[in-house]
Amino acid sequence: MIETPSLVDQYCHGVLRTELGLGTFEAHLARSEGPPAPGTTFFDTQTGFAVRRWCPPLLGLEPHCPPARYLARRRELGVLEAGRRLLRGSGITTYLVDTGLPGDLTGPGEMASTGNADAHEIVRLELLAEQVADTSGTIESFLANLAESVHAAAANAVAFASVAGVRHGLAFAPEPPGPGEVRGAVGRWLAHRPVGGALTDPVLLRHLLWIAVASGRPLQLHAGLGEPGLHIDATDPVLLTDFARATAGLGTDLVLLHGYPYHRHAAHLAGVFPHVYVDLGAELVRTGARATAVLAEVLELAPFGKLLFSSGAHGLPELHVVGARLFREALARVLGTWVSEGAWSLADAQRVAGLIAAGNARRVYGLE
């Protein structure tokens, strides 16, 4: 039996503090631009079935119980107690939490106390720049305040995350933009931006990436499936090849988040570039009962010291549970098969499982 006693969730978000009805809960099971089609439900997805398999026992119910019964039990316990049971039942011992999403979500401190785990912050670059823009009236003050804010964040956060792929696509110029180019882009953005306006300018997105690279903290880059309506072909991680080459040897690791359905491309980049790593997050949660096949495909190409577990969870503690359980089950099946076939030794399989589950993340992020 392949064991993974400790899990470092190297990319996730906090959980909602509010009670959820059926429709609100369902909305967090799928990335969709609207409700499910009439007569259907988002519980009838791989993610929905995985929630019904793994979460009810943690709340005192039988596996695969009907959604209405599960949600009734959840309300009976209350959002705090249900969240506590779910997070503590996930087996995750460390959370790295991206605090860059809006909404009433728990931060690293609450995740740590609720889940009886360690937790650290990941700072989202675009939100940081938007907050700086809200309080900077000139180009000079924005650039100075941005540099200072990134430096201050690097002193406390374990990593930076970027949604440049979501905002613009990953086919951006790989080199850092010049000072004049940056000043012009800042001027245009500040002149037309309402308070709270999102950063989408490709020049400023590149500027942010290179400031983060200079900090030395690991840089997480969203790729593959993401927000509803996203042109997925613009987020193929292979588009980051030139950026990976440009950042090689600078001392900053790049972590490719999610990746699916281009997970083999992400695995290829991790094999080519010493500083590129691959996340095993949302792709396993989305594929559910097929997670074993997806994980095996990533393991075809990526060096085993370059793979990192995450849940990629957002909003629902159930998604942390599902991410952890699907990962453990898939990893045990894949590596267990290779051991039984004689291709791997049990000792090697156990060592690799420990690396992917926690060891690689502890090394990349400098965790104790």
Q: Are 269 and 241 in contact (CB under 8 A)?
A: yes
Rounded Cα gap, residues 163 and 169, in angstroms: 9
pLDDT digits (tens, 9 = 90+) for 120-154: 999 999 999 999 999 998 999 999 999 999 999 99
Identify each DSSP E strand in the chain by its residue range: 7-12, 92-98, 118-124, 159-162, 219-223, 254-258, 276-280, 307-309
Residue with tokens 């009439």: 38
CA angle 284–279–114, rounded 5-degree value = 75
pLDDT digits (tens, 9 = 90+) for 47-96: 999 999 999 999 999 999 999 999 999 999 999 999 999 999 999 999 99
Listed residue (316, 285, 333) closest to 59, CA to CA: 316
Residue with tokens 């690396």: 355
Neighbours of 38 (CB within 10 A): 5
Identify any residues that bridge with 123 across adjacent strands, giving them in sequence order.
160
- pTM score over 0.85: yes
